[in-house]
Amino acid sequence: MTRFAHPLIVLCMATFEKNSVSALSKAQNLEALILFGDDTKKILSKITDRSLAEAIRTPLTMDFKGRYRECLLVYTEEKPAIKTTKRIILVGTGKSAKLTNHHWRTLASTAVHYLKNLGITKNIGLLLPSPKGQKTSEIAMASAQGQSLGQIGFDLFKTERKEEEKARFETIRFQFLVSDAKELRGAQDGVARGSLIGEDVNWARRLILLPGGDLYPDVLVQKVQEMVAKSPAKTKIRAEYWTEKELRKHSFGGLLGVGQGSTHRPRFIILEYFQGKRGEPPIVLVGKGITFDSGGLSLKPPASQETMKYDMAGSASVLSAFKIITDLGIKCNVVALVPTAENMPSGTAIRPGDVLRMASGKTVEVLNTDAEGRLILADGLHYATTHYKPKAVIDVATLTGACALAVGEAAAGVFTNNKKLLSALMTTSEKVQENLWPLPDFDDYYVPLLKSEIADLKNIGTREAGASTASIFLRNFISNNTPWAHLDIAGCGWYDAGRDFIASKGPSGIPIRLLAQFIEDFNQQSFS
């Protein structure tokens, strides 16, 4: 492959990648047109074209039930009057009064899969519905998100694909259509925003899918450098990539300690974007970037190691949220910090019983090398709360199996030292429909569990309340009483099977939309 593509080719690719939005009356010769119908068999868009309305009359009275996620294929070719499309796909919505963005995301994703299974990937129209009381721009945004989030498969490394499976690996870009030209503007805005967010979430999901052998700290750094270089905001982003030299200079004992067992050396990524009001304190995001967690000398059993390439999902989430904010050009002050390391057993690895001196100066007795996330986050959180004077710090981490046991895939466990921040996060959680669930921090019970006989702290408590003791450990590294929230995504970050608009097993992309929306909505709010 040549390094520099011809400018025209780049331009064509750009236009190909982009979703188009137009009036239904302008659509011609589609391979398929997607229409949504509810459980009363009502089509949720105005169809003024008589022949189109005629084509779906029989399927609506005969086989279509309008059940949520039902798909029915209707051929229109034998009716020469229809120039718009060769096929119509009726997609059921269930009760139309109860539809939220979550449903629209899921329905668009459902259509993507139905079409891929049919082998149709090009020239597809999706008529945006306009049910009562719902905004076209919102439906357009959610549908565009569902289109992107519904595409990604996890069999990226297959070399042999059956002919009938090939379509599954192609990307579907809908031609979004509106019945009424008045809706065009809202639809365009919604589709642009939804595709941007969907693609940025997929950027993170692709990183998470990369095996530990392919994505280690240096590669993560490289991916971030490429992301920044391609960013429309690249001149406004300030980036630093620390190697061990800087880590030593800043006494990042936690990150250096966890990284010392691997041939892939630890790194620290700093991304700053200060486009908000001058002097407005930033929101700082910190993400756990363990590119593979073997457990270290406290080695995990093989089955538990299988998915541990995903132990950098927290870092991918904060990087992707940063990407969304900068791609959208939101006026705000935001920082993303990523301590990244590989947790390996070796002759140079930290041992159970070793004592680390952290960036804050506190000492930690490492009794279990598998509780490594909190060690690298401790340095990140110390840096976040001392170097910046942040209005809030949010860390995201696949931190504890205990959190996954407590809430499963349903939610991220949330801990915080600040009620206003919690309430803002809960509001955002409802808005974007990514669940958060507050978990307890009973100091009287949990703080004593982290006492060490020889150092300031030890890195594990008891087996019980594992998510809570992990959070209390982190709290020791929050300086200046900075408003802080910790999101444990061990359960919700990875789906064991496809669900809703996430079509296959693998990274869910949670809580990226939540973080980006939170920054967009609350970057000027004070929590103290």
Residues designated as active site = 300, 374
Near ligand BES by CB under 6 A: residue from 106, 137, 398, 471: 398
Stretch that binds ligand BES, among 213-221, 353-361, 364-372, 516-524 (CB under 6 A): 364-372
CB of 392 to ligand BES, least distance (A): 24
- DSSP secondary structure letter of residue 368: -
Q: What are the φ/ψ torsions at residue 527 (nearest 5 degrees)? A: -110, -5
Question: What's the one-letter identity of residue 397?
Answer: A
Nearer to Zn ion, 45 or 459 (CB): 459
The reply on whether position 466 binds ligand BES by CB under 6 A is: yes
Among 141, 152, 371, 393, binds ligand BES (CB under 6 A): 371
Q: Maximum Cα–Cα distance for the chain, whole Å? A: 84
Q: How far is the CB of 398 from Zn ion (least distance, A)?
A: 6
Our CB check for Zn ion shows the closer of 373 and 483 to be: 373
Which part of the chain contacts ligand BES (CB under 6 A), choosing from 77-85, 256-264, 272-280, 401-409?
401-409
Instruction: Report the 10 Å Cβ neighbour count for 449.
Output: 16
- Hey, which residues between 106 and 165 contact ligand BES (CB under 6 A)? none
The answer to the question of residue 293 lying near ligand BES (CB under 6 A) is: yes
CA distance 208 to 212: 9
Q: Is residue 472 part of the contact set for ligand BES (CB under 6 A)?
A: no
Instruction: Name the segment binding ligand BES (CB under 6 A); options: 61-69, 222-230, 345-353, 392-400.
Output: 392-400
Single out the segment in contact with ligand BES by CB under 6 A; choices: 79-87, 174-182, 230-238, 367-375: 367-375
Smallest distance, Å, CB 233 to Zn ion?
31
* Interface with Zn ion (CB under 5 A), residue from 70, 199, 311, 500: 311
Residues 307-346 that bind ligand BES (CB under 6 A): 311
CB distance 377 to 269 below 8 Å: no
Which is closer to ligand BES, CB of 175 or CB of 368? Answer: 368
Under 8 Å between Cβ of 414 and 436:
yes
Q: At what angle do helices 217-230 and 184-209 cross, to 10 degrees?
A: 160
Residue carrying structure tokens 């110390």: 382
Calculate the alpha carbon distances from 468 to 406, 422, 435, 443, 486 in Å. Answer: 11, 16, 18, 10, 10
Q: Which does 466 bind (CB under 5 to 8 A by kind): ligand BES, Zn ion, none?
A: ligand BES
Listed in sequence order, the residues at least 6 apart from 59 whose beta carbon sits closer than 8 Å to its beta carbon are 72, 74, 88, 90
Q: Which of 38, 272, 372, 500 binds ligand BES (CB under 6 A)?
A: 372
Q: Candidates 96, 340, 400, 517: give the one binding ligand BES (CB under 6 A).
A: 400
Q: Which is nearer to Zn ion, 121 or 262 (CB)?
A: 262
Q: 340: exposed, middle or buried (C-beta count within 10 Å: 0-12, 13-18, 19+)?
A: buried
For the CB of residue 16, give the shortest distance to ligand BES in the complex, in Å: 37
Part in contact with Zn ion (CB under 5 A); list of ranges 148-156, 221-229, 282-290, 326-334: 282-290
Residue 460 found at the interface with ligand BES (CB under 6 A): yes
- Shortest Å, Cβ 507 to ligand BES: 12
109, amino acid identity? S
Of 114 and 446, CB closest to ligand BES: 446
Contact 356, 364 (CB under 8 A): yes
373 in contact with Zn ion (CB under 5 A): yes
Is residue 342 near Zn ion by the rule CB under 5 A?
Answer: no
- Is 352 in contact with 369 (CB distance < 8 Å)? yes
User: Nearer Cβ to ligand BES, position 333 or 398?
Assistant: 398
| Number of residues located near Zn ion, criterion CB under 5 A | 6
Q: Number of residues in contact with ligand BES, rule: CB under 6 A?
A: 16
CB 372 within 8 A of CB 314: no
Angle at 528 between CA 444 and CA 447, to 5 degrees: 15
**Whole-angstrom distance, CA of residue 469 vs CA of residue 207:** 29
- CB distance 142 to 108 below 8 Å: yes
Nearest to ligand BES of 194, 493 (CB atom): 493
| Tokens representing residue 29 in the block | 């010769």
Nearby residues of 239 by Cβ (< 8 Å), 6 or more positions away: 224, 225, 228, 269, 270, 271, 272
CA 494 – CA 509 distance, rounded (Å): 8
Q: Which is nearer to Zn ion, 76 or 468 (CB)?
A: 468
370 binds Zn ion (CB under 5 A): yes
The candidate with the shortest Cα–Cα distance to 500, out of 182, 69, 53, is 69
How are beta strands 124-127 and 392-397 bridged, if at all? Answer: unpaired
Dihedral sign, Cα of residue 79, residue 81, residue 86, residue 91: negative
- Tokens describing residue 393: 């710090």
Which residue from 183, 199, 200, 293 is in contact with Zn ion, where contact means CB under 5 A? 293
Using the rule CB under 6 A, which residue among 490, 502, 503, 514 binds ligand BES? 490
For residue 151, the minimal CB distance to ligand BES (Å) is 25
Per CB under 5 A, residues contacting Zn ion are 290, 293, 311, 370, 372-373
Q: Which residues of this chain interact with ligand BES, rule CB under 6 A?
A: 293, 311, 368, 370-373, 398-402, 404, 460, 466, 490
